[in-house]
Amino acid sequence: MRGEGRTVGLVILDGVADRPAPALDGETPLEAAATPQLDRLATAGQSGTMDIRAPGTPMSSDRAHAVLFGYDPAEVPGRGVLEARGFDVSVPADGVTCSASFAAATPEGDRWRITDRTVTDARPCNGAAAQVARFETAGVTVTFDYTWKNRGLVRLRPESGRLDPAVTDVDPFEAGLPVVTPAPLSDATDSDAAARTGKALAAYTRWTVDRLSAMPVDVVLSKWAGQPTDPEPFARRHGMAGATLTPKPVLQGLGHTLGMAVADPPANYDDRCRAALAALDDHAFVHVHYPEPDEVAHAASPAAKRDEIEAIDATLEPLVDRALADPDLVLAVTADHTTPSRGNVVHSGEPVPVALTGETVRRDDVRQFGERSAATGGLGRFAARDLCRQLRAAADRVLLDGLRRAPHVPDHPTTDLDALRRQTDDRT
């Protein structure tokens, strides 16, 4: 054990949880996959299932990761801000930053209907970005920065006064639906500022259609408006210096926002596992992200997802060897949400499987890493907001309930204490 507790590793297989597939004899891709390494972890430790938020709530990866890291999503800025930070694009403190994408749309009456929002040929998007780069309306400057594929960032800056990010998304996330009016949300804290944001975004959206009339894409669809917040840093909340190894800019942005060390890990699975092992030597908490199961589930079939899971598992042996041999390491493997590999929902809200190992972790009788086996495990079914505390508990990083060592009452056993002076320095 080093310092104030054991090291914690958290492997997130993005969207690895799934629904039963007829093509896999009613098994999920994870159940159908041969996963000897993940099964070793399940056998050595304790399993359970985890609701990321309220049962049945489909989660995006960014909001799910906020919960997995021990935060309420409301503490963390909207995704537009996280993406901007991930792409190293500056975020205006008093402005609003949205994620955005180019889409094809067609006029329908006095509205527009979206015909293609994926735009797989991204070649024209750089040129399109130049067409929609800067716009001014009613004291608000709107800029567009191209990021990747057909995506970009829309930033709104007020000359004076306020903007509020609580507006509806212009992107309805489904072809065949209309381009949506950006309107203030009913629970906006500043409804006037949200209305102003909505008007500026509406004007910008109409302007992009004019500007893109000669391009193969027709409109900029903005979404996930955000404004910077000031969440408690991860290290202060949990008493662990955190590192996140993720190739996803939005999660890199989340890591930056929470004061974690951020690394873009190798695409090769063997190399990624090696990078995780190296990071565990340098940080008390290491998050290792595999977005691929989710990506394959969106793009392909249950069988393809099963094969991808097997490919990842085949490279995890060094990490599993260490988890089973190192008494100073607590390791958990789980997912951030369920991604159905068939049907047309984006994500779904079933609980995800968890396997937890460590010298302090009680064993159960589960021998496989999968949805139905995990549901029989000793961790039971719990909420993801409690994941970090359970990991810290296994790492002996939770202070006895009721002890107060510091004014802000951290529940981790900090030794960063205000030691009493031997003589008073009160000269008043």
Q: State the residues that interact with Zn ion by CB under 5 A.
A: 294
> How near is the Cβ of 109 to Zn ion at its closest, in Å?
33
CB closer to Zn ion, 284 vs 297: 297
Closer of 218 and 294 to Zn ion (Cβ) = 294
Cβ closest to Zn ion, residue 292 vs residue 294? 294
Nearest residue by C-beta to Zn ion? 294
Q: Residue 107's beta-bridge partner residues?
A: 112
End-to-end CA distance of the chain: 45
Residue 172 Cβ vs Zn ion, minimum distance, rounded to whole Å:
17
Nearer to Zn ion among residue 73 and residue 378 (C-beta): 73
> Which residues fall within 8 angstroms of residue 183, CB to CB, at 6 or more apart?
167, 168, 195, 198
Q: Which residue has the tokens 């719990």?
A: 382
The amino acid at residue 408 is H
* Coil vs helix vs strand at 305: helix
Please, what is the minimum distance in Å from the beta carbon of residue 4 to Zn ion?
36
207: left (phi over 0), alpha (psi -120 to 50) or beta: alpha
Angle at 209 between CA 122 and CA 221, to 5 degrees: 60
Q: How far is the CB of 65 from Zn ion (least distance, A)?
A: 12
Contact 8, 334 (CB under 8 A): no
CB-count exposure of residue 421 (10 Å: 0-12, 13-18, 19+): exposed
Smallest gap from Cβ 28 to Zn ion, in A, equals 16
Instruction: Give min distance, CB of 347 to Zn ion, in A.
Output: 6
Number of residues assigned to the chain: 428
Q: Identify whether the C-beta of residue 114 lies closer than 8 Å to the C-beta of residue 177.
A: yes
Kindly tell me which of 62 and 294 has the beta carbon lying closer to Zn ion.
Answer: 294
- Which CB, 169 or 396, lies closer to Zn ion? 169
